Amino acid sequence: MRLVLSAGEASGDQIAADLALALRQRHPGIELAGLAGPRMQAAGVTPWYGLDALNVMGLTEVISHLPRLVRLRREYRHRILAWQPDAFIGIDAPDFNLGLARQLRRRGLTTIHYVSPSVWAWRAHRIGKIARSLDLLLTLFPFEPELYRPHGLDARFVGHHLADSLSELEDRDSLRDKAGLQPGQPMIALLPGSRDGELQRHAALLGATAKALRARFPHAMLVMLLASKAHKARVLELAGRDLAEAQVTLVANSTRTGLRAADLAIAASGTVTLEAFLVGCPLVVYYRLPPATYWLARTLRLVRSRFVSLPNILSNRELVPERLQDQASAQQLAADAGAWLENPERIAAYRTEAGKWCRQLALGAGDRAASAILEKLDKARS
């Protein structure tokens, strides 16, 4: 059996790696190849392309990279068809992977997508087109399959790998001891995002926020959690003076453990907000889009959801504050932090809600996804 696995960023790389390991366990002779990050490669996926090929976000940014992305997809499609796999499996990166899946399905290839696009929040008109592009969709959240059933798509909820992996984490007290925190000393984590554009837009904001936090909480430990070591130099270039004045420690490749130890996270909207939620870390969510992208999204009415962060979307209420564009100011974020840290009852209620969602999502997603894929392929052969 041959399968193409196609991820596009770090979160998809982890999801696809879990899937690859589960597929190999069930089918030891399987061949896996495609657009693969380091975790996928460690799980036995041959990398035809790396994650940096798709590391683009935002309407205006995608437009500037469009010629290169079109060439990449054409070359990738030819390589897939020449290899003659049993199926193409896109993992997230929907704007790239779903268009490719649609082209491949027209050529008779079984197409599967893992991680539903956020159609409940953004560009809901895509649902019908997605359904026509796929034979199977695997979703992370339990409410998503029903969105596709009226369109005849086989969509199955498999759970979320982030919830599955919580059992691997050390307990909070142990992590706080390792961080050198004193009893009662608050730890505040600052997260600027994982893409270069996010660092450019958010580093200075978090530098100013750190100074406001230091003035309000002089004994707090302030830590900036970064996706990679390469981001340290970039953040220091953009906001080094403010971060130094506020005594912020920069830490790379330890996001999950940092969130587990922290009393509060001030995080750019994205998958990391779900990570913080699942480990019970209170959140202030912010985001700044490029002005042209934000204007287009509002003008074209592309955003339908009341909320942008996953804790609020899952709970269907404003569980955590969301500060977008001009609302994301240093003083506002610091004030939101204070509102959390000075309200233990609010934190306890938040952690109760987080525990409920952990239980709903921790189902062994990689194993369930692998079973669904092999079952679909068995039916296609019979």
Domain identity same for 122 and 197: no
d(CA 212, CA 72): 45
Domain count, the chain: 2
Domain identity same for 357 and 274: yes
Sort strands 110-114 and 136-139 into parallel, antiparallel or unpaired.
parallel
Domain identity same for 62 and 51: yes
E strand or H helix that includes residue 297: helix 291-299
Which structural domain range is residue 56 located in? Answer: 2-159+363-381
The pLDDT of residue 140: 96
Domain identity same for 222 and 141: no
Of 223, 305, 218, the C-alpha closest to 266 is 223
Domain identity same for 209 and 266: yes
Domain identity same for 195 and 252: yes
pLDDT tens, position by position, 175-185: 999 999 998 99
pLDDT tens, position by position, 236-260: 999 999 999 999 999 999 999 999 9
Domain identity same for 211 and 345: yes
pLDDT tens, position by position, 102-154: 999 999 999 999 999 988 766 667 899 999 999 999 999 999 999 999 999 99
Of 276, 309, 271, the C-alpha closest to 190 is 276
Domain identity same for 343 and 247: yes
Domain identity same for 294 and 181: yes
- Residue 279, domain CATH: 3.40.50.2000
d(CA 379, CA 148): 20
Domain identity same for 146 and 245: no
pLDDT tens, position by position, 341-355: 999 999 999 999 999
Domain identity same for 186 and 288: yes
Domain identity same for 58 and 40: yes
E strand or H helix that includes residue 31: strand 31-35
pLDDT tens, position by position, 20-56: 999 999 999 999 999 999 999 999 999 999 887 665 4
**Res 59 pLDDT > 50:** no
Cα of 301 vs its chain's centroid, Å: 23
